[in-house]
Amino acid sequence: MTSASAALLHRGWRLPLSTFAAVSSLKNALDRLASDGARASFGTEAAPSSINWVFLGPPGVGKGTYASRVAKAFGVPHIATGDLIRAEIKSGSSLGAQMKAIVNQGKLLPCDMVQRVLQERLARGRQEGERGFILDGYPRTAAQAEQLLRSTDIGLVLNLSLREEVLVEKCMGRRLCRHCGKNYNVADIHLAASADGRPEIVMPPLSPPPECAPHLETRADDREEVIRHRLEVYKQESKPVEAAFRKAGLVVDFELVAGIPETLPRLMPLLESYVGRHANERK
Ligand SMILES: [Zn+2]
C-alpha cells in the first residue's frame, strides 16, 4: 500500500463510524436486492405461475413504491386503480366521460364503474399473457373484495403497516419540487425500540439534490390534522376489506421498521415463497 492510499484510508476511518455502517449496509442491501430480484424473475419464468397479489396499507406507508418495485422484480404489472381511472378519462371513451363528470362534481366513483375498468384491464392482461399483477388502491370496500375473490384467483394480500407516529412524521416530511415535480421526504426518523417490545425504526430522509432544494414545497393537505384524519378514515375503511381477505386466509402482515433499501431485501424472499400459491390450491 502506498503512503498516499494509507493516508486516505486513515482519513477515511476518521469519518464517523455510523456513516460507514450506513453506507455498507445500504450497499449490502442493494446487492442482495439485485440478486433476489434476478432470482425471482428467473425462477418464475422457468415455472410460469400466476402472481395475483393485492397490496394494502395506510397512506404514507409507501405502498405504491413497494408495489411498483416488487412488480418490476417479478415481471408483472403494477396496477394502480387511480392510474386506470385517469387513463380511462383521458382516453375519451363514453365510460371515461361519465367518470369525468362524476369526478368533476367532487363525488366518489360508483363501485361498478371502478370494477368495470379494473376487470377490463385484468382481462386484457390475461389475453396478452401477463403472468399476474400487483393491485394497489383496490379494493376499497368489502363488497369489492368479495367480488374480486369470486372473479380472480388472488394468491396473496400483503398488508403493510408502520407505527402511526412514523406515518404522521413521514407524511409531514413530504416535499414536492415545484420545478421538476420530483418527490422527496425530509423526515429523519429514528425511534428507539419501545418497552413493550416494538422494534427500533430507522428511516433516513430522502434529501433533495441542490438543484431542487430551493424549490421544495409542502402539499397543502400534508398538515398534521389532515393526515390524522386520513389515517382514521383509512382505519375505518380498511377493516372490512382486511376482514374479507383474512376470512379467505390470504393476508400476510408485514410491519415496516426501516426504509426501502433495507426493507426490500427482507420482503422479497418472503414474497418469493408465495409465488404460485393459488386460492384454488387451498380448496
Ligand atoms: Zn427538482
76-114 pLDDT per residue, tens:
999 999 999 999 999 999 999 999 999 999 888 888 899
Whether 71 is in a domain gets the answer yes
Whether 255 is in a domain gets the answer yes
**Catalytic residues, which ones?**
63, 140, 174, 219, 230
117-160 pLDDT per residue, tens:
999 999 999 999 999 999 999 999 999 999 999 999 999 999 99
Work out the angle at residue 245's Cα, subtended by the Cα atoms of residues 38 and 266, and round it to the nearest 5 degrees.
30
Whether 72 is in a domain gets the answer yes
Whether 116 is in a domain gets the answer no
Q: What CATH number did the domain enclosing 136 receive?
A: 3.40.50.300
Report the amino acid identity of residue 40: A
CA of 180 to the centre of ligand 1 (A): 4
Whether 194 is in a domain gets the answer yes
Share of the chain above pLDDT 90, in %: 65
CA of 28 to the centre of ligand 1 (A): 29
Whether 163 is in a domain gets the answer yes
How many whole angstroms separate alpha carbon 282 and alpha carbon 238? 24
CA of 214 to the centre of ligand 1 (A): 9
Share of the chain above pLDDT 70, in %: 80
32-77 pLDDT per residue, tens:
544 444 444 433 333 446 899 999 999 889 899 999 999 999 999 9
Whether 202 is in a domain gets the answer yes
Q: State the residue range of the domain holding 235.
A: 51-77+130-273
How many whole angstroms separate alpha carbon 157 and alpha carbon 260? 19
